[in-house]
Amino acid sequence: MTSTTIAEPGSCCARAEPTCGDAGRRVFAGVCALLFGLCAAATVTLHGAMSSMAATPMPGGRTLSMAWTPMCGQTWAGAAASFIGMWALMMVAMMLPSIGPALWRYRVAAEGTGRAARLTLMAAVAYFLVWLALGAVVFVVGAALAALAMQWPELARAMPALAGVVVLVAGATQFTAWKSGLLAGCRHAFPAASRQDARAACRHGLRLGLHCIQCCAGATASLAAVGVMDLAAMAAATVAITAERLAPAGERTARAIGAAGIGAGAWLAVRGTGLL
């Protein structure tokens, strides 16, 4: 085991942290790859199952995804549980490629405790619990909008154009200082506290999760607007989130993603009005 130096942001001081060997890195990468593969496969399977179900017809010739309404004989609580379970699988597959390096840095910093693997697992669970909570909020908002759209034909007809506006605005936020600051934190995230125990691990995971939700707000909103179970949209969001965090020129990558989002949003908005 060797050591490396990790500096606090905004500080001229640095502190030495133990690092794991190549074997530990390979095991960590293998576990992450396996988890990613399992969750991605489960997401694709669920998408196929939902696609085979009859969607609810809406005014304007559109259909309503079954993700937002209870299936035959299902309660609202059951529908919410199904959505959150699906959301959890999807978010692990989407976020693991980009959060993996931050979790590895945490494991490196915790190596001296002799409980690095357990503490890293606790941090990861806390991180994804934040995303799980967001999934519950997304379901409530999505179900409410779906109910309103079924009652108000005008809203149902406007939904495609509104979805385009959401994507356009999300793309524009990629150029803001707010986004740049959040992205810088994502690219250089590491345990800020020297204390390494179960409580600190959970706190670190929660802090990472809250930070990620803010940084990925545009991608998450775009995904929900275009279709939360749209495989192409999920793949695009995963690539975009991973690229802006891990590419060497992260800020330029984020702006390129923003430009693409603005273009796609404008096209969706115009198409939604029926002009195309």
The three-point CA angle 123-127-129 to 5° equals 115
> What distances in angstroms separate CA 79 from CA 69, 147, 148, 230, one per listed residue?
7, 14, 18, 18
In sequence order, which residues have a C-beta less than 8 Å from that of residue 201 and are 6 or more positions away? 106, 110, 119, 120, 122, 123, 126
The β-bridge relationship of strands 63-64 and 56-57 is antiparallel
Burial of 267 (0-12, 13-18, 19+ CB in 10 A): middle
Q: How far apart are CA 211 and CA 59, in angstroms?
A: 38
- DSSP assignment of 187-237 equals HT-----S--SHHHHHHHHHHHHHHHHHHTHHHHHHHHHH-TT-HHHHHHH
The tens-digit pLDDT sequence of the chain (276 residues) is 444 443 333 333 333 344 456 788 899 999 999 999 999 999 888 877 766 555 566 655 566 667 777 777 778 888 899 899 999 999 999 999 999 998 998 888 888 788 888 999 999 999 999 999 999 999 999 889 888 888 888 888 888 899 999 999 999 999 999 999 999 888 776 555 556 788 989 999 999 999 999 999 999 999 988 888 788 889 999 999 999 999 888 889 999 999 999 999 999 999 888 766
Q: How far apart are CA 102 and CA 119, in angstroms?
A: 13
* Amino acid (one-letter) located at 208: L
Q: Where are the domains of the chain?
A: 19-51+76-272
